[in-house]
Amino acid sequence: MERSILRRRALAACTATMAVGVLALAGLTGNASADPAPQLRTPTATGAGQLAPGLLKAMRRDLGLTAAEARSRIGHESRAAAVAAGLQRSLGAEFAGARVSGADAALTVATTDAADVARIREAGAKPVVVEHSQAELDAAKAALDRVALRSATEGVPVWYVDVATNRVVVQAARASAADGFLAAAGVSREMVTIRQSTERPRTFADLRGGDAYYMNGSGRCSIGFPVKRGSGQSGFVSAGHCGTPGVSTSGYNQQAQGFFQGSTFPGRDYSWVATNTSWTPRALVNGYGNGDVTVTGSTEALEGSSVCRSGSTTGWHCGTVQQRNTSVTYQEGTVSGVTRTNVCAEPGDSGGSFISGSQAQGVTSGGSGNCSQGGTTYFQPVNPALQAYGLTLVTNGTPTDPPTNPGGTWAEGTTYAAGDVVTYGSDSYRCLQPHQALPGWTPPNVPALWQRI
């Protein structure tokens, strides 16, 4: 059965006219706190000043941005993400989502309580009062996900939480299919928008992000991001539908590379491959002749942010994040927690890198359409994959060992206010924006949040 599936995927990777597939992403949640409202400031983006030529070229082609405009936009988006995270914590259960829009990444933050408007406006964001909190919408979508895990969702290919409309959107070929899906999940139509769709998502099956690799010497996928596990094992994360544990891989040069160690699909769409010592992991994403992009971290981008993808079939393409926390149904089953984008992709791009600025976002899963006519592509967020398998992202252009505590006062999970000073190792840093320190958000890795002094 597995061999049959892989043969079908290998054939799909060689069929350039085939429709594009799907991918997955999990959202982050925050706890309520009495933190003061953060404020937007002139952006100094995470890696914005060092954007790779290939990424800038793709953003110019797909988003119509000059190099200066691209750097400015990434800077604004990075700053808005930090402010949104602070507001999410301070608003608590009343938080109803955040998004950015326009070239200057204007931040909009929604709340269910009109009393929060002044706090949101003080932070430099546009306040919107809505009916449903983020938690309520996420709970409704989770109920739909549970139904999809128990039985097929024929005629309902995609569903997601749409922050902009404060609704759960269900795409369906027929209204009756959507109604049956909602009834089975016990979800009220009151918070749901049904949109007719003929979309038929399928997977893209077909050490540097975006490079090609081959499964059992046949089907082709793309590397997501190089990783480390433990003190010495190197490898990479990719899409779960690309292979199952034990499947061998060979690199873009057809040389022996490694074996799948873990794989989840459907449900989620992530995997990791342990590679042999002939392969050195680099914190790079293949720019396909336009200069590689250095990966400096994995801070999640907001809805509306620019995002670019590298894959072994179509190279670099860019667009924007449409909705996070999306579910999509393939022939093999439903994948939940993916991020929906308007970036194009084609067979063989599966598993490839999604990146915003220098921040790793996720691995390509699938979608619909192609890069001649455009389409929708989904990606599986990288952070849940790293957490699932106990992996560490390779950052800053060189192989890295799992993070160790170098000493100092900085601590993961701590809430910091603007102006706070911490030490990390032998260096001191001043906080630029209020935030809660998440895994990987060490001061050297997130210059949008910390300034070395």
* Residue positions annotated with a catalytic role: 241, 269, 350
Cα dihedral 162→163→167→173 (10° resolution): -10
Q: How many angstroms separate the CA atoms of 107 and 101, rounded?
A: 7
Complete DSSP assignment for 312-360: TTTEEEEEEEEEEEEEEEETTEEEEEEEEE-----TT-TT-EEEETTEE
Which helix (H) or strand (E) is 408 found in, with range?
none
Q: How many angstroms separate the CA atoms of 107 and 77, rounded?
A: 8
Q: Which residues of 276-297 are buried (b: 16+ CB within 10 A; e: fewer)?
A: eeebebbbbbbbbebbbbbbbb
Residue 117: CB atoms within 10 Å: 15
Q: Which of 94, 97, 93 is nearest to 85 (CA)?
A: 97
**Which residue is it, tokens 């579910």?**
327
Q: Which of 17, 71, 7, 143 is nearest to 358 (CA)?
A: 71
Greatest CA separation for the chain: 63
CB 167 within 8 A of CB 193: yes
Q: How many angstroms separate the CA atoms of 253 and 229, rounded?
A: 24
CB 131 within 8 A of CB 149: no
Helices of type H across 199-328:
none
Residue 252 CB contacts under 8 Å (≥ 6 apart), including other chains:
211, 212, 213, 312
